[in-house]
Chain A
Amino acid sequence: MEHLLASLSLFRYALAGILLVSFICSYVGVYIVLKRIIFVGVAIAQISSMGVAFAFLLHLPPMIFSLLFTFLGMLIMSQNLAGKKFSQEGIIGLGFVTASAVTTLMMAKSPLGIHEVEHVVYGDILAISPLQVYIALGMVITVITLHLLFYKEFVFVSFDYDMARAQGVNSALWNMLLYFSIGAAIAIGIMIAGNMMITSSIILPPINGLILARRLRNVFIVSCIQGVCTAASAFFISYFLDLPYGPTAAASSFVTLGFSFIVYKFRK
Chain B
Amino acid sequence: MEAKQKENNRLIEFREAALGYGKRVVVDNVNLIIERGDFLGIAGPNGSGKTTLLKVLLKMIKPIKGSVYFGEELRLMKKPLGYVPQREFLDEIFPLTVMDVVMMGRYAPIGLVRKPTQEDYAIVHDAIAQVNMEGHVHRNFRDLSGGQKQRVLLARALASKPSMLVLDEPCDNLDIAGEQEIMELLKNLHDEHNLTVIMVSHLLTVMTNYVVKLAIIENGKLYVGKVDEVLTEENLQRIYNMKVKIYDVGGKKAIIGQP
Report which A residues bind B (CB closer than 8 A): 33-34, 36, 149-150, 152-153, 155-156, 158-160, 162-169, 210, 213-216, 219
Contacts and interface: CB of A to CB of B under 8 A. Distances in A.
A169 B160 CA distance: 12
Contact of A162 (B83, B96, B108, B157): B83
Given A163-B83, A167-B160, A216-B94, 12 more contacts: A34-B93, A36-B93, A159-B101, A159-B104, A160-B90, A160-B104, A164-B104, A164-B107, A166-B166, A169-B107, A214-B140, A215-B95
B241 to A, nearest CB: 26
A166 B94 contact: no
Please list the 6 inter-chain residue pairs (A to B) with the smallest Cβ-Cβ separation, ordered nearest first: A166-B83, A167-B108, A168-B77, A167-B80, A166-B58, A166-B81
Contact of B93 (A155, A164, A210): A210
Contacts of A167: 80-81, 83, 105, 107-108, 160
Contacts of A156: 104, 107
Most interface-central of A33, A149, A163, A214 (chain B CB within 10 A): A163
A34 B95 CA distance: 9
Nearest to B101: A159
Contacts of B82: 166
Interface of B: 58-60, 77, 80-83, 85, 89-91, 93-97, 100-101, 104-105, 107-108, 110, 112-113, 140, 156-157, 160, 166
Given A167-B80, A168-B108, A215-B95, A159 B90 contact: yes
Contacts of B83: 162-163, 166-167
A153 B93 contact: no
A214 B143 CA distance: 11
Contacts of A36: 91, 93
B91 A169 contact: no
A268 to B, nearest CB: 13
Contacts of A149: 112-113
A158 B91 CA distance: 9
Contact of A216 (B95, B112, B113): B95
B95 A162 contact: no
Contacts of B100: 216
A160 B108 contact: no
A165 B83 CA distance: 10
27 contacts: A34-B91, A34-B93, A149-B112, A149-B113, A150-B112, A152-B104, A153-B112, A158-B94, A159-B91, A159-B94, A159-B96, A159-B104, A160-B85, A160-B90, A163-B83, A164-B104, A164-B107, A165-B58, A168-B77, A168-B80, A168-B108, A169-B108, A210-B95, A215-B97, A216-B95, A216-B96, A219-B95
B11 to A, nearest CB: 14
Contacts of B166: 166
A106 B90 CA distance: 42
A33 to B, nearest CB: 8
A159 B89 CA distance: 10
A166 B80 contact: yes
Nearest to B105: A167
Contacts of B104: 152, 156, 159-160, 163-164
Most interface-central of A36, A168, A169 (chain B CB within 10 A): A168
A187 B97 CA distance: 33
A162 B81 CA distance: 11
A167 B101 CA distance: 14
Contacts of A164: 104, 107
